[in-house]
Amino acid sequence: MTIGKGDGSYNKLMRDLVKPDLLILDDFGMKQMDLPMTQDFLEVVEERYHHQRAIAISAQLPVKEWPSVFKDPTIADAVLDRIVRNADAVLDRIVRNAYRFDLKGPSRRPTVEHQPADAGGDSSNANNYTEEK
């Protein structure tokens, strides 16, 4: 999206992200977002919210830790508020027969250590993976 702001393709990219009835975000929270990425993500979520478009999110990170993905805690609150409000609206319209599987045992996938959202500093260590034991 940063490149789109520079080369003039940003508006088309936003239209492409808002247009589908469902936007799927897979492996959300695998690394912390820097401030520009956080602001762009808020804009996408906000546009989809106002156009009543759904977002499906899959994540290894527990929901209670999602705020740590965002560099700015205020933007984190705004994004999560819109996601939760939209989720409530969708759940009111569908049958609540969702199934969740809780897997037992240690994960074989690498995990990311997240810094608290209010921690300053460089996010260059966001790609440091550690194996769970």
Q: How far is CA 60 from CA 31, 39, 70, in A?
A: 11, 23, 16
Residue 32 has pLDDT above 60, yes or no: yes
pTM above 0.75, yes or no: no
Average pLDDT, the chain: 76
Superfamily holding 2-130? P-loop containing nucleotide triphosphate hydrolases (3.40.50.300)
The residue ranges of every structural domain in the chain are 2-130
pLDDT at position 7 is 77
Average pLDDT over residues 15-38: 91
Are 107 and 124 in contact, with CB atoms under 8 Å apart?
A: no
